């Protein structure tokens, strides 16, 4: 069997959108599942769209996601360099080859001339297409004598090399996800492949590199489907075996109306980028999954299921499990709707599955950086054990546990109104005495002693517990009272009760 070799080929024109991360992920899963290789190729031939920092951002983001490459300019490999601008010298010979074989030609039309033709066509409610119908009337090597062409080239006249799209020909193709596809070439144009500045366009560089790098499967987003006929024809023109193609479904906006775009994210209240991105020109910040508190595993698990399903009810997959389960048989043709609630749910699931020690360590760091609290790791670990199941993100733990780190300074009005009764102050003073006399201050023992006292004196569970909660937390939330008592400790608890009674009595 042919060796499986896939590539992720981003253009560094900005931050990587989560749709791009998913493309990289499916390439990775497919390669690993089939014992193949995955390479990273930077497609930077369009210098006008170059954005500083984008390449570095893409590499760091994929690394954070746990998508590892077998070949790239960083890890090396036998087919490098893996950045197209460093392969510039390679492409001209292929452009020349196509011209020599009669599959491409020189065109000398200026941008201005083409623009005018477009405008003229528009005025007649038509679209101008550079193809078999129009090429015979334009300034190119098909309409000029060889001498004229040679002279223009010798003079250094700017030119492009265009693919000669066959006329009225049906291109028959196969896509792994979409099945058989047929396209009539009359709907296609003579795409530019190469320019006189020595740079190939995306189409030529992409095909040449896929061939030279022995790519077996081209797995990419649906937005590249319209390029597939040209690419297939280019392989035929060169006489090369074409790789197999799989075009992945689009990621849609949450309402299903259209493609999830780079602009949607912060507008709709969730990140569309794996990591935070700062626009190098405007310094505008776009949020990222990493900085928003998502675990990479949760993010990847969520993305994997946008466009693919395992065919079972299982939803939680480690990267290794994804590799084992992945196949194109369960990839859908139709777009996958992004769902931010589901994304949070995944993070919650991963947070719950982490040990209290791990979450505690993360929370300790958060407390230091966000609240300037230097907490003891053992203490934070115990707090984490109590509240981690109640939140989606580590940063949400504060709201569930602030009272473990600072005494209440206010008492929630609604809770006070509802829970603080005539006899509450008195009840709290009595509870204080009971608590003061508990020697074994473990949660279990506290619970036992308080329960015995409450039932023995027919005090009612509600009034005592609600009152204590108000004293200890300042609000009507938090874990079990005996857990809170045990963790904050006897002295601190007594202090809080005394203060609360003073304020509310």
Q: Which is nearer to ligand GLU, 231 or 388 (CB)?
A: 231
Least distance (Å) between residue 130 CB and ligand GLU: 22
Choice from 4, 6, 10, 22 touching ligand GLU (CB under 6 A)? 10
Beta bridge partners of 221: 248
- Phi and psi at 18, nearest 5°, equal -60, -25
- Pick the piece of the chain touching ligand GLU (CB under 6 A) from 9-17, 89-97, 444-452, 491-499: 9-17
List of residues 6+ apart from 456 with CB closer than 8 A? none
State the virtual CA torsion across 237, 238, 243, 244 in degrees, nearest 10: 10
List the Cα angle 130/136/142 in 5-degree steps: 100
Q: Which is nearer to ligand GLU, 25 or 99 (CB)?
A: 25
The yes or no reply on residue 235 touching ligand GLU (CB under 6 A) is no
Q: Which is nearer to ligand GLU, 172 or 223 (CB)?
A: 223
The yes or no reply on residue 474 touching ligand GLU (CB under 6 A) is no
Q: Which is nearer to ligand GLU, 224 or 379 (CB)?
A: 224
The yes or no reply on residue 224 touching ligand GLU (CB under 6 A) is yes
Place of tokens 């649906």: 222
Least distance (Å) between residue 204 CB and ligand GLU: 12
Least distance (Å) between residue 43 CB and ligand GLU: 4
Report the C-alpha gap between 308 and 247 in whole angstroms: 13
Q: Which is nearer to ligand GLU, 236 or 356 (CB)?
A: 236
Least distance (Å) between residue 219 CB and ligand GLU: 8
Question: How many residues sit close enough to ligand GLU to count as binding (CB under 6 A)?
Answer: 8
CA-nearest of 298, 158, 269, 180 to 229 is 180
Of 262, 382, 490, 495, the catalytic one is 262
The yes or no reply on residue 61 touching ligand GLU (CB under 6 A) is no
Q: Which is nearer to ligand GLU, 11 or 400 (CB)?
A: 11
The yes or no reply on residue 131 touching ligand GLU (CB under 6 A) is no
Contact status, residue 265 vs residue 286, Cβ threshold 8 Å:
yes
Cα 139 to Cα 128, 136, 154, 160: the distances in Å are 15, 8, 16, 11
What is the DSSP-derived secondary structure letter of residue 479? Answer: S
E runs forming strands in 198-343: 217-221, 244-248, 251-252, 277-278, 285-286, 336-337
Count of Cβ atoms closer than 10 Å to residue 184 Cβ: 12
Q: Considering only residues 192-221, where is the footprint of ligand GLU by CB under 6 A?
A: 202, 206, 220
- Helix H or strand E encompassing 162: strand 160-163
Structure tokens of 313?
């009810």
- Pick the piece of the chain touching ligand GLU (CB under 6 A) from 6-14, 240-248, 255-263, 445-453: 6-14
Q: Which is nearer to ligand GLU, 10 or 15 (CB)?
A: 10
Report the C-alpha gap between 102 and 94 in whole angstroms: 12
- Pick the piece of the chain touching ligand GLU (CB under 6 A) from 3-11, 106-114, 360-368, 489-497: 3-11
Sign of the CA dihedral 229, 231, 234, 240? negative
Q: Is 372 left (phi over 0), alpha (psi -120 to 50) or beta?
A: left
Choice from 4, 6, 9, 438 touching ligand GLU (CB under 6 A)? 9
Least distance (Å) between residue 209 CB and ligand GLU: 10
Choice from 18, 36, 43, 251 touching ligand GLU (CB under 6 A)? 43
Q: Which is nearer to ligand GLU, 215 or 387 (CB)?
A: 215
The yes or no reply on residue 11 touching ligand GLU (CB under 6 A) is yes
Least distance (Å) between residue 202 CB and ligand GLU: 6
Least distance (Å) between residue 335 CB and ligand GLU: 17
Sign of the CA dihedral 261, 61, 200, 112? positive
Structure tokens of 139?
């300034």
Known catalytic membership, residue 388:
no
- Compose the 411-440 pattern: x for residues touching ligand GLU by CB under 6 A, - for all others: ------------------------------
- What does the DSSP assignment read for 303-364? HHTSSB--SSS-----HHHHHHH--GGGB-SS-EE--HHHHHHHHHHHHHHS-HHHHHHHHH
The yes or no reply on residue 17 touching ligand GLU (CB under 6 A) is no
Rg, Å, the chain Cα set: 32
Least distance (Å) between residue 447 CB and ligand GLU: 59
Query: Which residues are known to be catalytic?
Result: 262
Interacting residues toward ligand GLU by CB under 6 A: 9-11, 43, 202, 206, 220, 224
């Amino acid at each position: 069997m042919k060796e499986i070799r896939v590539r992720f080929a981003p253009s560094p024109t900005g931050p990587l959108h989560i749709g791009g991360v998913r493309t990289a992920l499916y390439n990775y899963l497919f390669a690993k599942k089939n014992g193949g290789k995955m390479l990273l190729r930077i497609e930077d031939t369009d210098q006008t769209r170059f954005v500083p920092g984008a390449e570095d951002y893409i590499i760091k983001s994929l690394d954070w996601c746990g998508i590892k490459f077998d070949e790239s300019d960083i890890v090396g490999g036998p087919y490098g360099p893996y950045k197209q601008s460093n392969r510039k010298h390679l492409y001209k010979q292929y452009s020349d080859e196509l011209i020599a074989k009669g599959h491409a030609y020189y065109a000398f039309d200026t941008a201005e001339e083409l623009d005018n033709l477009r405008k003229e066509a528009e005025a007649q409610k038509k679209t101008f297409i550079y193809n078999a119908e129009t090429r015979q009337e334009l300034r190119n090597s098909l309409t000029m004598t060889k001498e004229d062409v040679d002279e223009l080239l010798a003079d250094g006249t700017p030119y492009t090399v265009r693919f000669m799209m066959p006329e009225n020909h049906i291109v028959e193709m196969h896509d792994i996800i979409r099945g058989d596809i047929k396209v009539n070439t009359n709907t296609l144009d003579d795409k530019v492949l190469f320019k006189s500045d020595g740079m190939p366009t995306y189409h030529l560089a992409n095909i040449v590199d896929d061939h030279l790098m022995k790519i077996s499967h081209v797995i990419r987003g649906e937005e590249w489907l319209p390029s597939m006929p040209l690419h297939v024809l280019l392989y035929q023109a060169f006489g090369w075996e074409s790789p197999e193609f799989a075009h992945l479904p689009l990621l849609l906006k949450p309402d299903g109306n259209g493609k999830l775009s780079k602009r949607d994210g912060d507008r709709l209240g969730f990140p569309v980028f794996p990591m935070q991105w700062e626009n190098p020109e405007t310094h505008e910040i776009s949020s990222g999954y990493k900085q928003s508190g998502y675990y990479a595993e949760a993010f990847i698990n969520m993305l994997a299921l946008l466009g693919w399903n395992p065919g079972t009810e299982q939803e939680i997959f480690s990267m290794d499990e994804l590799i084992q389960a992945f196949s194109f048989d369960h990839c859908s043709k139709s777009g996958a709707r992004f769902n931010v609630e589901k994304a949070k749910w995944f993070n919650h699931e991963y947070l719950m599955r982490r040990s209290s020690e791990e979450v505690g360590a993360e929370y300790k760091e958060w407390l230091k950086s966000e609240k300037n609290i230097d907490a003891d790791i053992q203490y934070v670990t115990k707090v984490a054990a109590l509240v981690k199941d109640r939140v989606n993100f580590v940063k949400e733990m504060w709201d569930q546990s602030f009272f473990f780190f600072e005494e209440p300074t206010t008492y929630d009005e609604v809770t006070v109104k509802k829970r603080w009764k005539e006899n509450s102050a008195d009840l709290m003073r009595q509870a204080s005495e009971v608590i003061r006399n508990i020697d074994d201050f473990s949660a279990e023992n506290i619970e036992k002693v308080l329960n015995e006292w409450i039932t023995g004196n027919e005090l009612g569970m509600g009034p005592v517990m609600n009152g204590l909660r108000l004293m200890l937390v300042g609000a009507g939330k938090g874990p079990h009272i005996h857990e809170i008592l045990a963790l904050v400790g006897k002295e601190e608890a007594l202090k809080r009760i005394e203060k609360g009674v003073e304020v509310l009595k």
